[in-house]
Amino acid sequence: MRGGEGECESEREREGREALGSRRTEKIRSFGEQPSTRDLEQRYGDLNATVSRLEVLVTSLQDSNSAASSRFSNSTASSSLSSSTKTKTP
């Protein structure tokens, strides 16, 4: 009995190793060749340009948010001021 179980287990292990090995081989093949230095420099330059554009966008959004916050607080303050000055006289 034990020998039969051991054989089944080792067969399962072998199948698992084979499947894992084939997945590793597929990953290596899909990765392909190492990129050249020129390709990496191009990607680095593209990433730097993207980061610069994102920094400009974030700054613009922060400025816009600050202006909107300022307008909102000013309008809230003026509306509360105008409502407090509109008291009815007897």
**pLDDT band with cut points at 50, 70 and 90 for residue 85:** low
Q: Is 32 left (phi over 0), alpha (psi -120 to 50) or beta?
A: left
b/e per residue, 63-80, with b = 16+ CB within 10 A?
Answer: eeeeeeeeeeeeeeeeee
Residue ranges per structural domain of the chain:
1-32, 36-71
Query: At residue 56, does pLDDT exceed 90?
Result: yes
| pTM of this structure | 0.42
List pLDDT tens digits, range 3-49: 555 555 677 777 777 777 666 656 555 666 788 889 889 999 999 99
